[in-house]
């Protein structure tokens, strides 16, 4: 297999590096689903996309529209020349990532320190999240209807927070524990302060912190009940490797697929079939809830678009869904020479191998997998050939080693053709994940080819 690097001429290498720089900088600004939606919306508006809610009259070919659901879920469309009932070419990815969320009553004082209690979100190795600088990102929604945005730990002179780990000198007992329990979920408590308020009778360190929060953000302790504060790694993404061929950062899963999919649709002009890019929340906890892929929001959006083309029947909506073609884009596990035993080397992804297609995911005999139709896989291969895209195919690990799922089956349940596609990562779900810049660029090109050539 020739890698993207080996095939690239000097001009392409320079394009790969530039695209990698743009991605790295975007990733550093979007550590939560809300931040991603905000930044993506700004980029879309700069490219001429209009808020669907404000759009009047009939939709015509070349129209660019977007919709936002509860500030966490974004969908972009470029209307095609063919009617929507002929189906869409859809790119889907998720913009939530594993992290620690503050509990609703997070703040407490113990032994002269003030701590913030958390509940982890998504599948993590808990021991990876201690003894490192962390930032607080999110919103505090107050009963007067206002929202206070929080982002602490990103500027060079901001303070950071974090979770302590036991010193090695006193860890003899701890080190005997299995990795799954060496750091327990309930022990993921964030150290947030140590100055006591003079004269306070009860919990003086907590009182000092609450005072600070009131002064700097105008929030009270009770306001945390209606807040969403995510504790995320504080570092900015960095070039990785002495040759700068990779990017290390928090949340490649799945913002690397979301960013590249979004970049692909932002550049569509007047496609044959309508282009769509749906970026969802809650994938890491099962795609549930109003902003997850299982929400009916997506179908209701399509019904609205159809109505704007004069088709209001359920039959039209079903035709649109049945004729749509989708890439469920999510990260794959890149082969890791430190852990070769977890993969079948013939059926796994490699850094530099280009976009990864997973015909199926799942676990224990493909359970829970979408398993794309062979006919559809052939159609996707044809589109990749037309776009001269370097791709590879993969399974998530060797048989019975583990497994996982994506949003693919949810769209499959709507009776559309779906295949899993994405970019390979090292350290998946760790605070710092790694991708190859060649794969990021090739992913972006693959998404363009999919939007352009599928259904031709």
Instruction: Print the SS3 string covering 360-375.
Output: CCEECCCECCCCCCHH
Build a one-symbol-per-residue string for 410-439: x at contacts with Mn ion by CB under 5 A, - elsewhere.
------------------------------
| From candidates 35, 109, 230, 253, binder to Mn ion by CB under 5 A | 253
Q: Please list, in sequence order, all residues whose beta carbon lies within 8 angstroms of the beta carbon of residue 403, skipping any fewer than 6 positions away.
A: 361, 362, 363, 364, 367, 368, 396, 397
Stretch that binds Mn ion, among 4-12, 163-171, 211-219, 248-256 (CB under 5 A): 248-256
- Distance CA(200)–CA(10), nearest Å, equals 66
Q: How many CB atoms lie within 10 A of CB 41?
A: 17
Stretch that binds Mn ion, among 164-172, 322-330, 387-395, 444-452 (CB under 5 A): 322-330
For 383-436, strand residue ranges (E) read 391-393, 403-404, 417-422, 424-426, 433-436
Comparison of 254 and 417: residue with beta carbon closer to Mn ion? 254
330 binds Mn ion (CB under 5 A): yes
Q: How far is the CB of 141 from Mn ion (least distance, A)?
A: 27
Comparison of 254 and 371: residue with beta carbon closer to Mn ion? 254
Q: How far is the CB of 442 from Mn ion (least distance, A)?
A: 18
Q: How far is the CB of 200 from Mn ion (least distance, A)?
A: 43
Stretch that binds Mn ion, among 52-60, 163-171, 330-338, 440-448 (CB under 5 A): 330-338
Comparison of 302 and 396: residue with beta carbon closer to Mn ion? 396
Comparison of 332 and 392: residue with beta carbon closer to Mn ion? 332
| From candidates 254, 371, 379, 442, binder to Mn ion by CB under 5 A | 254
Do 43 and 23 contact (CB within 8 A), yes or no?
Answer: no
- Distance CA(37)–CA(178), nearest Å, equals 39
CA distances to 347, 418, 450 from 379, in Å:
20, 11, 10
Q: Does the bond joining 254 to the residue before it have cis omega, within 30 degrees of 0?
A: yes
Q: How far is the CB of 133 from Mn ion (least distance, A)?
A: 22
Stretch that binds Mn ion, among 102-110, 195-203, 245-253, 431-439 (CB under 5 A): 245-253
Strand 134-141 and strand 64-69: the pairing is: unpaired
Comparison of 323 and 427: residue with beta carbon closer to Mn ion? 427
Q: Please list, in sequence order, all residues whose beta carbon lies within 8 angstroms of the beta carbon of residue 381, skipping any fewer than 6 positions away.
A: none
- Tell me the number of residues near Mn ion by CB under 5 A: 3
Q: How far is the CB of 304 from Mn ion (least distance, A)?
A: 28
Which residues are bridge partners to 118 per DSSP? 102
Comparison of 235 and 253: residue with beta carbon closer to Mn ion? 253
Q: How far is the CB of 331 from Mn ion (least distance, A)?
A: 5
Q: How far is the CB of 94 from Mn ion (least distance, A)?
A: 6
What the block records as the tokens of 31 is 């550590």
Q: Please list, in sequence order, all residues whose beta carbon lies within 8 angstroms of the beta carbon of residue 265, skipping any fewer than 6 positions away.
A: 76, 78, 91, 275, 276, 277, 447, 451
Q: Interface residues with Mn ion (CB under 5 A)?
A: 253-254, 330
């Amino acid at each position: 297999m020739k890698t993207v690097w080996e095939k690239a001429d000097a001009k392409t290498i320079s394009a790969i590096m530039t695209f990698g720089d743009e991605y790295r900088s975007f990733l550093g600004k979007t550590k939560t689903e809300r931040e991603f939606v905000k930044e993506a919306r700004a980029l879309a508006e700069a490219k001429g996309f209009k808020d669907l809610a404000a759009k009047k009259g009939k939709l015509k070919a070349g129209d660019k529209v977007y919709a936002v659901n509860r500030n966490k879920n974004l969908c972009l469309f470029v209307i095609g020349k063919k009617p929507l009932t002929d189906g869409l070419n859809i790119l889907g990815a998720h913009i939530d990532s594993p992290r620690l969320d503050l509990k609703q009553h997070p703040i407490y004082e113990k032994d002269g320190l003030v701590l913030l209690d958390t509940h982890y979100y998504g599948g993590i190795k808990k021991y990876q999240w201690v003894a490192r600088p962390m930032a607080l990102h999110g919103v505090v929604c107050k009963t007067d209807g206002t929202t206070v945005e929080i982002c602490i730990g990103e500027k060079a002179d901001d303070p950071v927070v974090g979770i302590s780990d036991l010193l090695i000198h006193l860890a003899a007992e701890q080190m005997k524990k299995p990795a799954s329990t060496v750091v327990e979920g309930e022990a993921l408590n964030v150290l947030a302060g140590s100055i006591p308020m003079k004269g306070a009778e009860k919990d003086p360190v907590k009182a000092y912190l609450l005072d600070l929060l009131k002064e700097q953000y105008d929030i009270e302790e009770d306001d945390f009940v209606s807040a969403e504060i995510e504790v995320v790694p504080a570092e900015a993404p960095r070039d990785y490797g002495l040759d700068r061929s990779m990017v290390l950062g928090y949340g490649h899963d799945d913002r690397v697929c979301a960013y590249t999919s979004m970049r692909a649709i932002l550049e569509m002009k007047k496609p044959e079939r309508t282009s769509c890019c749906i970026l969802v929340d809650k994938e890491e906890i099962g795609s549930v809830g109003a902003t997850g892929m299982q929400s009916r929001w997506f179908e209701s959006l399509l019904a609205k678009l159809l109505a704007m083309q004069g088709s209001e029947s359920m039959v039209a909506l079903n035709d649109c869904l049945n004729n749509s073609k989708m890439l469920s884009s999510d990260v794959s596990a890149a082969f890791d020479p430190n852990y070769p035993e977890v993969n079948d080397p013939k059926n796994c992804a490699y850094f530099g191998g280009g976009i990864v297609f997973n015909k199926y995911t799942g676990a224990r005999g493909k359970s829970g997998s979408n398993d794309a139709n062979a006919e559809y896989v052939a159609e996707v291969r044809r589109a990749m050939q037309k776009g001269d895209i370097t791709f590879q195919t993969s399974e998530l690990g060797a048989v019975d080693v583990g497994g996982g799922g994506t949003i693919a089956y949810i769209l499959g349940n709507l009776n559309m053709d779906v295949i899993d596609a994405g970019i390979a990562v090292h350290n998946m779900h760790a605070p710092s994940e790694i991708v190859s810049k060649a794969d990021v660029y090739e992913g972006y090109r693959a998404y363009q080819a999919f939007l352009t050539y599928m259904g031709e």
